[in-house]
Amino acid sequence: MNALKRVVIGFFWLFCFVSSGFASDVFTVDHEAFPYYPSLFNYQASETGFYAPDVCAGCHPQQFEEWSGSVHALALVDPIYQGELLLAYKKAGHDVTRQCEGCHSAAGVVTGELSKPGLEGLSPMTLAGVSCDVCHSVVGTTHWQTPSHEPENGSLVLRPGVETADGSMPAKRGPFAPDEACGMGFHQCEESPLHKQADLCAGCHQVYHYEAHFPLEATYLEWKHGPYAQKGIHCQDCHMVETETFLSAADDFRKPVSGEYRHYFNGANYLLYFLAGEAAKKSGDTDLAANVQKKYEMAIARLQAAAQLELTPLYRGSALSELKVRVKNVRAGHNLPTSLTNVREMWLELEVYDSQGALVLSSGTLDADGHLPKDVRRFNSDGMGDDFHFAIDPWAVTAFSRHETIPPKGYKDVYYGLGGLSATGPLRIEARLRYRQADQKMAEKLLGSATKNIDLEKVYGLTEVPMLPVIDMATAQLDIDARN
Ligand code: HEC
Ligand code: HEC
Ligand code: HEC
Ligand code: HEC
Ligand code: HEC
């Protein structure tokens, strides 16, 4: 081979390598169909635009109060989101952060108002995050036209208004067949079966890597592949109702009736409610503080209803050899945990005491700085990047190297070796399933980064990141003998 040929071939391979990136014939992107790519929202513009929630509040005060202080209402102003967004913007630029903004404030993106991180100068409509007019302007989905042919990154079509003989008018979609009075001349009403289905939520509750189209969060597909979808229990039936109603939907597959729906969108994120409560107190809004406190308690109630523990000692011959801990997902409609499974922390803490009450074995206990020990039994995922090494940021994670979550109505078993214990008499075993939103260091990093957009002291009264609260989702005790 002559030198020239070698150089040409060399350049050819270099070209192939450089141009490959995430290029794949599996996920083809139709940029014309998705003008806000990597956000997959579509916008059918009308002369009538989107309204801020306080406009709707005039005639729908109950829905407004339920939605106020919800995680949807906080989706854009969430300081943990703003912290991560700023990091994404620095690392990957606005072509990537448009993906985030699409779901965290869709109306802001399709109208072009939201074009950089930060909250300064934004209208109340954009600040309202997942607002009334985002959901009630959804006229369709593009779930099966996306690059993954699954719902992802906001595969929803928004159309806030229609042109009529009397001019442009807001048109709102909802669950009812409208009567004459619906909208009271302010808006038209359109009946929408989509609003009673998980497919409405799917576009935003399937977070895919912006180029690799890997599902970082796949709550909708976890639900769809489980028993609740088969029994017709949708997201709304657990997350848009009071706790009691959620329990009967989860236990008896009872579908709530029309008047039972509430705009709480209550899940697990008690930390965000805690922060929102501090902000409300700081600004002197005691009504909002009380409202958010109720949502905080509701989130903890949902978490504590989700799981159960079962302890079984295993003997080899007459000697105790292992403890089996079965962790059951009894009431979450999707995997447990779901969503940000590479950030959320759900783990087992185990303590074994001898007959004198002395601790003879422990596992999963947080240290004084709020960090988990290395040998802890966790239920979550580890992300990896393009190079197959550990990664955690949403623009870097293109696959999971470990994915340990519990399917709906399913379980996982964990075994602890107890053969090495020197105790011979009775033993007391205490097990706890614990949960928090993130690792302490991670929370410090994200809230630390947010300070460039949000003055944490001014808004929340925070001078430092507090120790993240931990919730016991389920506990179990067992008294056994070291010999059988
Ligand atoms: C497809 C819609 C979607 C996209 C795109 C998206 N998110 Fe989210 N994000 C969500 C949903 C839904 C949750 C709630 C999940 C949960 O609570 O576990 C969430 C939660 C978060 C949280 C946790 C907030 C908290 O208070 O704990 C952070 C941080 C976050 N997103 C940052 C980002 C960033 C940065 C991007 C862009 C790289 C992004 N998101 C893109 C839908 C989206
Ligand atoms: C995340 C999406 C979402 C957001 C945000 C949202 N809604 Fe809804 N809304 C729904 C769904 C879904 C239903 C249907 C519930 C059912 O099955 O009856 C609904 C129902 C309604 C109804 C019919 C009566 C009822 O309560 O069921 C009204 C009125 C309404 N919403 C107004 C509002 C207002 C006002 C806001 C803002 C303060 C708002 N919505 C925010 C999804 C949303
Ligand atoms: C001037 C009063 C008025 C205003 C302002 C108003 N609505 Fe309504 N809307 C009504 C009335 C009346 C109904 C009839 C049903 C009911 O009372 O819930 C209705 C019904 C609805 C429904 C149910 C439609 C159906 O077919 O299921 C939705 C969704 C809705 N409104 C959303 C909104 C949103 C979003 C806003 C703010 C952009 C808004 N409304 C502002 C008066 C109003
Ligand atoms: C336009 C996008 C969008 C739509 C549509 C949407 N969500 Fe969300 N949802 C989000 C985002 C973004 C968050 C997280 C915000 C944050 O943590 O900062 C979220 C958070 C939540 C949470 C709180 C999770 C927690 O950790 O506490 C629940 C519950 C939820 N959504 C349920 C629903 C249901 C039910 C529907 C359908 C009726 C729905 N969502 C539709 C974007 C959306
Ligand atoms: C049978 C009831 C049930 C159904 C159906 C259900 N969920 Fe949940 N969901 C729960 C419970 C309980 C929790 C709290 C435990 C947990 O975090 O999984 C939860 C938690 C969540 C969280 C917060 C996760 C976290 O750790 O931050 C989100 C987001 C969520 N659900 C979204 C959805 C969406 C979207 C759907 C529909 C595709 C849905 N849920 C269907 C019961 C349900």
Ligand sitting nearest the alpha carbon of 189: 3
The pTM of the full predicted model, rounded to 2 decimals, is 0.96
As a CATH number, domain 306-481 is 2.60.40.10
Which pLDDT belongs to residue 95?
Answer: 85
Q: State the distance from the centre of ligand 1 to the C-alpha of 265, rounded, in angstroms.
A: 15
Residue 432 has pLDDT above 70, yes or no: yes
Could you tell me if the CB of 124 is within 6 A of ligand 2?
Answer: no
From 123, 169, 187, 191, the mutation candidate for ligand 3 (largest count of ligand atoms within 8 A of CB) is 187
Share of the chain above pLDDT 70, in %: 95
Residue 390 has pLDDT above 50, yes or no: yes
Instruction: Locate all alpha helices (DSSP H) within 367-483, ordered by sequence.
Output: 440-450, 456-460
Q: State the distance from the centre of ligand 1 to the C-alpha of 81, rounded, in angstroms.
A: 7
| CB of 477 closer than 8 Å to CB of 429 | yes
Residue 10 has pLDDT above 90, yes or no: no
Which pLDDT belongs to residue 139?
Answer: 98
DSSP3 helix / strand / coil % (the chain, rounded to 5): 30, 25, 45
In ligand 2, the atom with minimum distance to the C-alpha of 68 is 38
In ligand 1, the atom with minimum distance to the C-alpha of 219 is 12
Which pLDDT belongs to residue 90?
Answer: 92
Mind listing the pLDDT tens digit for each residue in 26-69?
Answer: 999 999 999 999 999 999 999 999 999 999 999 999 999 999 99
Which pLDDT belongs to residue 9?
Answer: 56
Q: State the distance from the centre of ligand 3 to the C-alpha of 169, rounded, in angstroms.
A: 13
Confidence of residue 314 (pLDDT cuts 50, 70, 90): very high
d(CA 253, CA 246): 9
Q: State the distance from the centre of ligand 1 to the C-alpha of 232, rounded, in angstroms.
A: 26
Question: Which residues touch 254 (CB under 8 Å, ≥6 apart)?
Answer: 248
Q: What are 169's two structure tokens?
A: 């008018």
Q: Mean of the per-residue pLDDT values for the chain?
A: 94
| Helical (H) or strand (E) element with 16 | helix 3-20
The mean pLDDT of 280-305, rounded to a whole number, is 97
In the chain, CATH 2.60.40.10 covers 306-481
Q: State the distance from the centre of ligand 4 to the C-alpha of 482, rounded, in angstroms.
A: 48
d(CA 146, CA 20): 21
Confidence of residue 483 (pLDDT cuts 50, 70, 90): confident
Could you tell me if the CB of 184 is within 6 A of ligand 3?
Answer: yes
Which pLDDT belongs to residue 276?
Answer: 97
| CB of 467 closer than 8 Å to CB of 440 | yes
Burial of 147 (0-12, 13-18, 19+ CB in 10 A): buried
Which pLDDT belongs to residue 116?
Answer: 84
Residue 462 has pLDDT above 60, yes or no: yes
Q: State the distance from the centre of ligand 5 to the C-alpha of 333, rounded, in angstroms.
A: 6
Give the residue, by CA position, lying nearest to ligand 5 atom 31: 267
Mind listing the pLDDT tens digit for each residue in 224-274?
Answer: 999 999 999 999 999 999 999 999 999 999 999 999 999 999 999 999 999
Could you tell me if the CB of 10 is within 6 A of ligand 3?
Answer: no
Which pLDDT belongs to residue 5?
Answer: 63
Tell me, rounded to whole angstroms, the distance of Cα 53 from its chain centroid. Answer: 23
The mean pLDDT of 368-375, rounded to a whole number, is 92
From 182, 188, 192, the mutation candidate for ligand 3 (largest count of ligand atoms within 8 A of CB) is 182
Q: State the distance from the centre of ligand 4 to the C-alpha of 266, rounded, in angstroms.
A: 9
Q: State the distance from the centre of ligand 5 to the C-alpha of 443, rounded, in angstroms.
A: 22
Which pLDDT belongs to residue 299?
Answer: 98
Confidence of residue 166 (pLDDT cuts 50, 70, 90): confident
Interhelix angle for 270-283 vs 79-92, to 10°? Answer: 110
Ligand 1 pocket by C-beta < 6 Å: which residues? 78, 80-81, 84-85, 88, 99-100, 102-104, 153-154, 204-207, 267, 269, 272, 339-340, 394-395, 437
Ligand sitting nearest the alpha carbon of 58: 3
Mind listing the pLDDT tens digit for each residue in 122-149?
Answer: 999 999 999 999 999 999 999 999 999 9
Q: State the distance from the centre of ligand 4 to the C-alpha of 192, rounded, in angstroms.
A: 19
Confidence of residue 328 (pLDDT cuts 50, 70, 90): very high
Give the residue, by CA position, lying nearest to ligand 2 atom 42: 135
Residue 11 has pLDDT above 70, yes or no: no
Which pLDDT belongs to residue 22?
Answer: 66
Q: What are the angstrom distances between the C-alpha of 360 and each of 139, 322, 349? A: 60, 14, 14
Give the residue, by CA position, lying nearest to ligand 1 atom 39: 100
Residue 20 has pLDDT above 60, yes or no: no
Q: What are the angstrom distances between the C-alpha of 413 and each of 92, 319, 335, 338, 410? A: 40, 21, 15, 18, 10
Confidence of residue 16 (pLDDT cuts 50, 70, 90): very low
